[in-house]
Amino acid sequence: MFADDYDHRRLNTLSWIRYAAALSDDPVLLLPVGSHEQHGPHLPMGCDAILADAMAVRLAEKLDGLVLPVLSYGYKSQARSGGGEHIPGTISLDGASLTLQVRDILRGIFYHGVRKIVVLNGHAENQWFLTEAIDLALREALPARPDLHLIRCEYWKYTPQSTLEAVFEGLSPRLNPHYVALLETSMMLALKPDLVDMSAMPSDRSGQFPPHDAYPQTGEGVPPSGVLSPVSGASAKKGRRLIRDTVAAMAAGLGEALNE
Amino acid sequence: MFADDYDHRRLNTLSWIRYAAALSDDPVLLLPVGSHEQHGPHLPMGCDAILADAMAVRLAEKLDGLVLPVLSYGYKSQARSGGGEHIPGTISLDGASLTLQVRDILRGIFYHGVRKIVVLNGHAENQWFLTEAIDLALREALPARPDLHLIRCEYWKYTPQSTLEAVFEGLSPRLNPHYVALLETSMMLALKPDLVDMSAMPSDRSGQFPPHDAYPQTGEGVPPSGVLSPVSGASAKKGRRLIRDTVAAMAAGLGEALNE
Amino acid sequence: MFADDYDHRRLNTLSWIRYAAALSDDPVLLLPVGSHEQHGPHLPMGCDAILADAMAVRLAEKLDGLVLPVLSYGYKSQARSGGGEHIPGTISLDGASLTLQVRDILRGIFYHGVRKIVVLNGHAENQWFLTEAIDLALREALPARPDLHLIRCEYWKYTPQSTLEAVFEGLSPRLNPHYVALLETSMMLALKPDLVDMSAMPSDRSGQFPPHDAYPQTGEGVPPSGVLSPVSGASAKKGRRLIRDTVAAMAAGLGEALNE
Amino acid sequence: MFADDYDHRRLNTLSWIRYAAALSDDPVLLLPVGSHEQHGPHLPMGCDAILADAMAVRLAEKLDGLVLPVLSYGYKSQARSGGGEHIPGTISLDGASLTLQVRDILRGIFYHGVRKIVVLNGHAENQWFLTEAIDLALREALPARPDLHLIRCEYWKYTPQSTLEAVFEGLSPRLNPHYVALLETSMMLALKPDLVDMSAMPSDRSGQFPPHDAYPQTGEGVPPSGVLSPVSGASAKKGRRLIRDTVAAMAAGLGEALNE
Amino acid sequence: MFADDYDHRRLNTLSWIRYAAALSDDPVLLLPVGSHEQHGPHLPMGCDAILADAMAVRLAEKLDGLVLPVLSYGYKSQARSGGGEHIPGTISLDGASLTLQVRDILRGIFYHGVRKIVVLNGHAENQWFLTEAIDLALREALPARPDLHLIRCEYWKYTPQSTLEAVFEGLSPRLNPHYVALLETSMMLALKPDLVDMSAMPSDRSGQFPPHDAYPQTGEGVPPSGVLSPVSGASAKKGRRLIRDTVAAMAAGLGEALNE
Amino acid sequence: MFADDYDHRRLNTLSWIRYAAALSDDPVLLLPVGSHEQHGPHLPMGCDAILADAMAVRLAEKLDGLVLPVLSYGYKSQARSGGGEHIPGTISLDGASLTLQVRDILRGIFYHGVRKIVVLNGHAENQWFLTEAIDLALREALPARPDLHLIRCEYWKYTPQSTLEAVFEGLSPRLNPHYVALLETSMMLALKPDLVDMSAMPSDRSGQFPPHDAYPQTGEGVPPSGVLSPVSGASAKKGRRLIRDTVAAMAAGLGEALNE
């Protein structure tokens, strides 16, 4: 599923000898984190992991970095951001399970002497448990490793505003998270068109949520398709642009931050 | 990296709608579990995950099952089974982190109504933490789900003795774990030849260990290459036979067990 | 510090006999959650707890509910939302510690037969650990208590847009979290003017952050005062309006949600 | 609820700037720990937290210290010491939840450079989980902070015997924990008379318990009111004396211990 | 070390077949809990475990019960009750480790259908972590097992006052925990005289402690021998009486409680 | 139950003064770990603990070491190695509970300055949770204690092949774990003949298991007696030889390893 032209950037394709050699260049290591979450009737459940991985390998290419194996399971889907756990298919981790797993992975690469690390998040619900993992790993390591420099980044935060405006073709004067379905569908069409079922594209209206969150989640406010915003207008071309511009912006922003 | 002809068996390529439809057939779900571990100078560090995944998708094909995203990080490498943590490259989880992650994934698929599950292990060190995960998940779920039927399987336990004898061509009258390097190298040559560096094939003698384990691990007894047994004689042809025969035996054994 | 005209709404002022009597009315219980976090040179460190509690008691008055003792310690301050942990004064909990505490409190009130609960959050960083606490508590309780109805609410999400526009007097055509300092200062002037030091009001420019978060936090981008946005223009009058309008909107929104 | 003349001693009323300034005097920090527990039909459920906080602020006044926000939830009520969990109203934490919370708070103030700390306990059942929190925090911190000096104190252990004898007016030649209701009622009458319902004062006989504890707790041996000992004779005057004498004794004892 | 005439009461001497047969009589199961703690220069470090086990087997004889293997490690020694952790020799568990272990053991015997259980504690510091273990085990089990009846008992609470007065021969008009050394020494002389070194009997004065506890523990107030109270006058004869009378009182009290 | 001629090697028979004196000789400390597990109708449930302890004290005699109190509860019995949890009598710990307990004990003896430690395992299922305990303890301690040297040893791995061949008298050309019942029965006859019920010796055929493990465990493949392999031919004489030869081999192997 993840095969592409970037395999040489993936840590799991390297022997330890090659990795050991690469370490002498003080490389950036990138940990993409996804989820296994329903993404509507037209997109595969691995969508967030596929996108996080795709961003990571392209970013690694620009930063001359290496990419750790993607985490394929994330924190629990929430109604307003992912549709919620009530739709069959989503498989999620408890917050502590995700946090401990990431803390351990960070501990492992600290031990190898890695200094510059990007946790590249592709699933909104993961953010705070990744933050906690980074804090726990640093608390343990910092006394002996004051040189550590970690970044946690939700990749979509780096998509330029001008790119979004172009992608939405004036349909949306006020961009917000409710428009993510068009973005994800476009990027999946660019990356894995065979995994997108255009015939199943939903035509639901957007999800409607109050300013609070209610539990247990009943699916109230979530369209039957599980898709929270319109997807019409999605295209591979838009996807390519989104990926290209987002990666370029990340490369500039993170590259500068890591080399300070 | 995992792209192959079995993508239609992978849960992360399906939409939730297709998964929901598939659930009505009471399918077997398979969770491959690997590691990120040094495998010598000639094999990629993702070896265990690649092999566990490869076995799982082929087994799913025969059992008409579906495969969950592989777990790419496993329990800590031990000197006698994997060379140990002292070689840079290996990235491992604490036992509790691995256990909690697997418990959560099982909880998730129990919730979908899945009844038949195979945890397919590709890294010897994982075994007991997977066992614990299954026990914790069942303790929680069994009162309401007496129909659950889980299997934990180290795939190499199903490789037929006759296959092993053929593969070793009489070189080894007494087969044992010390011969795993030739098996893994052969299977990787069959599956991912571009990830095997034949020119880096080590010629160390086998690892030498006392009947106990000593800590902290210093690498004593582990050959400098990290490879614990001879690899000469490995071939793609042997690898294809190993995979084919092991999958066939698993399909027969697990298929019968799950349909009881 | 919390003394005001709403003590009769606070659970810790009631005897168990009065609480037991109140339970027969199927009351809403509100759990305000704050933090102990630097809020600049002019505001007290208990600011988030004071505001969450103030919102909760006023909301309880309207919903005829009862308020649990406020949680005075929250999750770790982040640079872009709270200034970060590097400024002396902030005292924070690990994510798991906060989650377990809230899970236990929820378990306790479930046991009393309470059915309608609002977790009223006053510290942005708490949100996901509260979400996890609610999920853990419900997982345990739901089988025997299908009647449970919980809401998690960040109070500022209910402040009407029209109120914000009035408060900012045209200074801010595009409202966003960077303007929270003026809101909090105004509300503190309305509630606890003696705890606000007008003479120490900072005149720093706003915090400046990239789209990612970097760790360990060094305070980069955070103004020396710890205040992330302008406070000039804050007034008790604006604070009173903010509180009044926010509570009214919450009462309408949550009241309806809980009585469905 | 906690408003009184001691607000200037409370850490949550200070800005971080004032706190940072105060730190240069090497101040004692006091963490009062209470509970949310039934205290009979006449006393509020926040009784232990109110008393622990009241002792802490008065002690801080004498030691020139600062008081952390009180912990309002404690460990599970036991029949012989608090009446037990069967009476509706009590809300308790698991031992681990309380321990982790206190460990985190201690870690936070260690980080600020605080050296002298008093954990002032107002709920008997908390004692051992506070002890464990202190041990865990010190295990982590001591290697880098050999200067740390912590004290855990149940405040009633410092009430002078002569004061107790005066308070009981010869009614009780052998003082013991069974007489705590009169003490707590008197001190609440002194501190928060409006929260004491004299008309609901119980006239039960004392609790009767065997030398062991039985579980699940059924309330056996606990009077119907939940009050474990006679309250008749309680008065605000006695309460004022109890508070004054206890604080004076603590100030002498702890002051000396912390300045060694 | 534990060999005596009571082996037939010990669960670890029975085959599962005999245990299964015994279960049909609805027997009491007893779990003795000790410690590995310094007990002065004259007593062995296993003292608390030896005494808890000795009490348990004798009590089992009277109640026709069975005794689980004693827990040989307990919670951390405290200065005033056990001398503290600073004296080399004591080996202690974190609170959570002790709690989880006991919870698991209780879960195990619940699963066998056992209904009546006594946790017989021989180390004061264990009490609250045993209480928590019982609570956690019951929370999990009670919904399906409303018949469970557990008792936690510190054995010394059942020593009759008249026995204590006889043992101290008028030396001590006001008995208190400070006199435990004479009791333990006498009982060890009765049970394991070869493990008591009369020549090393200390003649220190009693430990002297303030009403609070200070951490880190420095040994202040603890006599150099680690013995907290006088041992002179200890004798095997007194020990036999202490054991006999304590067991008789427990048999009466617990027997009645368990048969309610 | 554990009384024998080796009591002077047991740490719980020593006073702290004697232990402190012994520490100056840099002694090996041995921690035997057993289980409480069904061992068929003829053997006591404490079998693994008795054997681990017996090996440990004899090994201590040869290495001039000291033996910690045996752990009497182990990890969950598995069908193929111990018969499984479905047979009443077995009492097991969760993996984390066992791991934390052993980690704490190791921490304790590290604190005493002990440098050489053998964790001597008598229950196959414990192995990986002991490995994890050692890793967690070393991670915490190694920075300040680079001198630590730990060994984990399953004692049966040291039984010489020649001894096994002699014991089986040519009955078994291919020795494997399925023959453990004869070994354990023989050793118990040598050590504790009164705890072996020769009249209950089972005559079941061996357990029959597929190459995988199925859960929940139903006892499938496990003989009704719970004994997994033939016991006929067991004798005290064979047991004495097994113990003697195994201890001698361990003394040589571990002695050399620890003195490197």
Q: What is the pLDDT of residues C129-138, one digit of tens each?
A: 999 999 999 9
Rounded mean pLDDT of B160-177? 75
- Give C104's contacts (C-beta < 8 A, 6+ positions apart): D73, D91, D92, D93, D94, D97
State the pLDDT at residue C176. Answer: 58
> Please, are residues C15 and D83 in contact by the beta-carbon 8 Å criterion?
no
- The model's pLDDT over C55-100, given as tens digits with 9 standing for 90+, comes to 999 999 999 999 999 999 999 999 999 999 989 999 999 999 999 9
Q: What is the pLDDT of residues B84-125, one digit of tens each?
A: 998 999 999 999 999 999 999 999 999 999 999 999 999 999
Distance, in Å, from the CA atom of E150 to the CA atom of E140, rounded to the nearest integer, reads 14
Per the domain annotation, does F2 fall within a domain? no
Q: Tens digit of pLDDT for each residue in C25-36?
A: 999 999 999 999
pLDDT of residue A173: 45
Cα end-to-end span (Å), chain C: 36
Residue D243's pLDDT is 98
Which of F75, F176, F213 is the best mutation test for B, with the most CBs of B within 10 A?
A: F213
Give the pLDDT mean for F133-151. 97
D1 is a domain residue: no
Kindly state the percentage of chain E with pLDDT values over 70.
96
Rounded distance, CA D241 to CA C105, Å?
A: 35
Handedness of CA E100, E102, E104, E110 (dihedral sign): negative
Query: Which residues in chain B (41-80) have CB-CB distances under 8 A to chain A?
Result: 41-46, 49-50, 68-73
**Which pLDDT value is given to residue A79?**
93
Specify the pLDDT at position D42: 96
Would you say E191 and E159 are in contact if contact means Cβ atoms under 8 Å apart?
no
Lowest pLDDT segment from A172-181, B54-63, B232-241: A172-181
- Whether D153 and E78 lie within 8 Å, measured CB to CB: no
Distance between D52 CA and the closest CA of chain E, angstroms = 15
B36 to chain A: nearest residue by CA? A12
Q: What is the pLDDT of residue A230?
A: 87
> At C21, is the secondary structure helix, strand, or coil?
helix
Kindly state whether residue C1 falls inside one of the protein's structural domains. Answer: no
Decide which of D250 and A165 is more confident.
D250
Identify the chains in contact with D, defined as 3+ C-beta pairs within 8 A. C, E
Gyration radius from chain E CA atoms: 18
What pLDDT is stored for residue D174 in this prediction?
A: 53
Average pLDDT of B22-44? 97
pLDDT > 50? residue F52: yes
Distance from CA of E183 to the nearest CA of D (A): 18
* Calpha distance C221→A257 (Å, rounded): 12
How far lies B231's CA from each of B170, B243, B246, E105, F115, in Å?
15, 17, 20, 47, 38
> Does residue A204 register a pLDDT over 90?
no
Print burial letters for D157-189: b (CB count within 10 Å at least 16), e (below 16): ebbeeebbeebbeeebeeeeebbbbbbbbbbbb
What phi, psi does C51 have (nearest 5°)? -70, -45
Please give the pLDDT value at position E173: 46
CATH number where C30 lies:
3.40.50.10310
Average pLDDT, chain B: 94
Question: Does B2 map to a domain?
Answer: no
Mean pLDDT of chain F: 94
D255's CB contacts (< 8 A; 6+ apart) are D62, D63
Contact check, Cβ <8 Å, E15/F200? yes
Among residues C39, C88, C86, C33, which one has the least CA distance to residue C55?
C33
| D246/D241 Cα distance (integer angstroms) | 8
For residues C7-12, average pLDDT: 96
**Distance in Å, alpha carbon of E168 to nearest chain F alpha carbon:** 25
Q: Are F10 and F107 in contact (CB under 8 A)?
A: no
Average pLDDT, chain E: 94
Is F168 within the bounds of a domain?
Answer: yes
Indicate whether A120 belongs to any domain: yes
What are the pLDDT digits (tens) for E66-84? 999 999 999 999 999 999 9
Q: Is residue B177's pLDDT more than 60?
A: no
Residue D154 has pLDDT above 90, yes or no: yes
- Structural domains in chain E (count): 1
Query: What confidence score (pLDDT) does residue F50 get?
Result: 98
* Average of per-residue pLDDT values in chain C: 94
Q: Which of E184, F220, F153, E179 is nearest to B80 (CA)?
A: F153
Is residue B153 in some structural domain? yes
Strand ranges inside B12-93, DSSP E: 28-33, 66-67, 74-75, 92-93
- The pLDDT, as a whole number, for residue A229 is 87
User: What is the structure's pLDDT at E1?
Assistant: 64
**Rounded Cα distance, E240 and E247, in Å:** 11
Stretch D98-126: mean pLDDT, rounded?
98
pLDDT (0 to 100) of residue F113: 97
Taking the C-alpha atoms of residue C204 and residue B197, their distance in angstroms, rounded to an integer, is 58
The confidence score (pLDDT) of residue E172 equals: 57
Q: What is the pLDDT of residues F71-114, one digit of tens each?
A: 999 999 999 999 999 899 999 999 999 999 999 999 999 999 99
Compute the half-sphere exposure of residue A195: CA atoms within 13 Å on the CB side of its CA. 31
> Which residue segment(s) compose the domain that B93 sits in?
7-258
- For A118-141, what is each residue's pLDDT tens digit? 999 999 999 999 999 999 999 999
E144 located within any domain: yes
Contact A95 C134 (CB under 8 A): no
Amino acid occupying residue F19: Y
Are B152 and B121 a contacting pair, CB within 8 Å? yes
Distance from CA of B17 to the nearest CA of A (A): 5
Instruction: Determine how many CB atoms are found less than 10 A away from the CB of residue D8.
Output: 12
Does D142 contact chain E (CB < 8 Å)?
yes
**Using 50, 70 and 90 to split pLDDT, how confident is the model at C173?**
very low
Lowest mean pLDDT among C129-143, E55-69, F120-134, F163-177: F163-177
Nearest CB partner across the interface for E142, out of D94, D125, D216:
D216
Strand C149-154's sheet: what is its strand order?
A: A213-215, C149-154, C116-121, C28-33, C66-67
Cβ(B30)–Cβ(B56) below 8 Å: yes
D39-45 mean pLDDT: 96
Q: Per mean pLDDT, which range of C166-175, D140-149, E10-19 is the poorest?
A: C166-175
Name A122's Cβ contacts closer than 8 Å, sequence gap at least 6. Answer: A32, A33, A34, A35, A48, A49, A51, A52, A53, A55, A154, A155
The answer for C106, left when phi > 0, alpha when psi is -120 to 50, beta otherwise, is alpha
- pLDDT value at residue D173: 45
Compare all CA atoms of chain F with the CA of B97 and give the residue at the minimum distance. F96
Question: What is the C-alpha to C-alpha distance for residues E221 and A103, in angstroms, rounded to an integer?
Answer: 42
What's the pLDDT band for F5 if we cut at 50, 70, 90? Answer: confident
Look at residue E230 in the predicted model and tell me its pLDDT.
87
- The reply to whether residue D99 touches residue E99, judged by beta carbons under 8 angstroms, is no
Instruction: Quote the distance between the C-alpha of residue B186 and its chain's center.
Output: 15
Q: Which residues pair with D151 in a beta bridge?
A: D118, E214
CB contact under 8 A, C92 and D109: no
Q: Would you call D143 an interface residue with chain E, using a CB distance cutoff of 8 Å?
A: no
Out of F15, F90, F195, the one facing E13 most closely (by C-beta) is F195
**Which residues 6+ apart lie within 8 Å of A124 measured at CB?**
A81, A82, A154, A177
pLDDT at F178 over 90: no
Tell me the mean pLDDT in the region B25-50.
97
pLDDT reading at C227 higher than 50: yes
